[in-house]
Amino acid sequence: MRLEDLDWTREVVRIERSKQRRTQDYPLVSSVGDAILQYLRHARPLCTPRELFVTLKAPFRPLSPSAMYHVVSSRIETLGIQVPRHGPHWLRHACAGHLVAAGLSLKEIGDHLGHRIAYATRIYAKVDLAGLREVANFDLGGSHEALRGSCQLCCS
């Protein structure tokens, strides 16, 4: 993410989807904008790289994927969050879990995460246990025996 990806006027952050060769705009919510401003004012060194996140010691350069992993992992550990994996990709899974819990469709979640095909979003379907239970308890309006004749997929 680069500094010019933050559109403060429109309150939008632009994310480049390298696999898809396109960009996607997301709302720049005030809490995130405030956190970025705090980082820019008090933590990010004055330097020439245009990337938002840079090393704190010279020579200043964009954070590498392994450095970003370390930042996220150490923060998760400091907060005492118990998760199976600690890297930045976990944040995508957490986001998807929140979207599932909020009732968004897998298509909407896939669009938000930048997935090109719905198949890539399938992993999040198993997260919605409440939704799956609701489907399993759906009453088709008759006894299972009465529906046996028209229920070739599950009863044959």
Q: Positive or negative, the Cα torsion across 3, 11, 99, 22?
A: negative
Confidence of residue 29 (pLDDT cuts 50, 70, 90): very high
Q: Positive or negative, the Cα torsion across 36, 37, 42, 45?
A: positive
List, for residues 140-149, the tens digit of each pLDDT value. 555 545 444 4
Beta bridge partners of 7: 12
Read off the pTM.
0.67
Rounded average pLDDT over 75-97: 85
pLDDT over 50 (residue 31): yes
